[in-house]
Amino acid sequence: MATGFLYDDQFLKHDAGRGHPESPQRLARTLAHLKEQAWFGTLSQVRPAPAEEKWILTTHAAPYLKRSKEACEEGAPWLDTPDVGISSESYATALLAAGGGLMLADRMMAGEIQNGFALLRPPGHHAELSHAMGFCLFNNVAILARYLQQKHGLDKILILDWDVHHGNGTQHTFEEDPSVLYASLHQYPFYPGTGSAWETGEGRGRGATLNCPMPAGASDREYETAFCEQILPKIEGFKPEAVLVSAGFDAHESDPLASINLSTEFFGWMTERMMEAADKHADGRLLSLLEGGYNLDYLPRCVALHVETLMKKDKPPLARPASFR
């Protein structure tokens, strides 16, 4: 079964401001690199549609939607915090980004694709119930999780977040909900300040949040240890019905916004582990949405390896990265 690939030129129209690291070039450069790959034409191309408001409201408050739309229409330079730069096209683009994952979900649940990746912006995992932050307007992966539960009847959803920044918005969305396991590897202490190991969920959701904070300078070996000793055992006990990945590539050793030193190859290794979990527990259902990644030379390479790995359902596993040896 095919791997889905979702993209639309509308994603280039969100303008966060001159010199902002979350620029349209992130997608333009990545797409150009993907098109150079011999396997690109075998991907199942999926076009997004804007998310209906009712699905955005599963994760965000109605006054926030209204305020976001008005800020973009009125030409405000930013929303809630100066790092969330906006333009007249930003609201429409954010609706399309949120809807992108939903389109992949529909195709996956219809049996038309096995798994899929969305090359989209703006990213989402920092967006909270009622405010924007960290380059994010709407929490794309959280909206997708609720959509899979409410539209497609799945119950237990895993969200693995390997972006170098902790997904505060995603954690807060589900921290009282035992039906969604949120697991995150991220630099700590670092922006946004959340994601300590003792944050394990609240109330009925206690135990359904797993944070694996990493010190500056951590590399493949430390991440492998966290996977093998914490994340994979947690997934084994949870038994998700779908696997979602908040796929940020800013933990790469070349990224200018952080200090984690993952190799390009390690993103393929993490992808394989999530595919194995999806195969074992979720009939192979895995969807991945782009979050961060700001080195314009290495983001395309990491994304290409991630997507190519998703396509390799019945091929031998990737070689172990040299940094593991």
CATH number where 163 lies? 3.40.800.20
- Which residues are paired to 219 by β-bridges? 261
Hey, is 4 helix, strand or coil?
Answer: strand
Q: Is residue 319 part of a domain?
A: no
Q: Is residue 101 part of a domain?
A: yes
Going from the first residue of the chain to its last (325 residues), give the mean pLDDT of each consecutive group of 10, the final group possibly shorter.
Answer: 97 98 98 98 98 98 98 98 98 98 98 98 98 98 98 98 98 98 98 98 98 98 98 98 98 98 98 98 98 98 98 61 51
Active site annotation includes 172: no
- Of the candidates 126, 186, 252, 306, the residue annotated as catalytic is 126
pLDDT on residue 297? 98
Task: Estimate the crossing angle of helix 298-311 against helix 264-281, to 10 degrees.
Answer: 30
Q: Is residue 324 part of a domain?
A: no
C-alpha to C-alpha distances, 105 to 51, 102, 287, nearest whole angstrom: 12, 5, 8
Q: Is residue 229 part of a domain?
A: yes
Q: Is residue 325 part of a domain?
A: no
In angstroms, rounded to a whole number, what is the distance separating the alpha carbons of residues 172 and 152?
23
pLDDT on residue 1? 86
In angstroms, rounded to a whole number, what is the distance separating the alpha carbons of residues 159 and 141?
8
Place of tokens 């019945």: 314
Torsional sign, CA 44, 49, 53, 54:
negative
Q: Is residue 252 part of a domain?
A: yes
Task: Determine the structural domain holding residue 274 and report its residue range.
Answer: 3-314
Number of domains forming the structure of the chain: 1
pTM of the entire predicted model: 0.96
pLDDT on residue 325? 39
Q: Is residue 321 part of a domain?
A: no
Contact 163, 171 (CB under 8 A): no
Q: Is residue 322 part of a domain?
A: no
Place of tokens 């700001």: 294
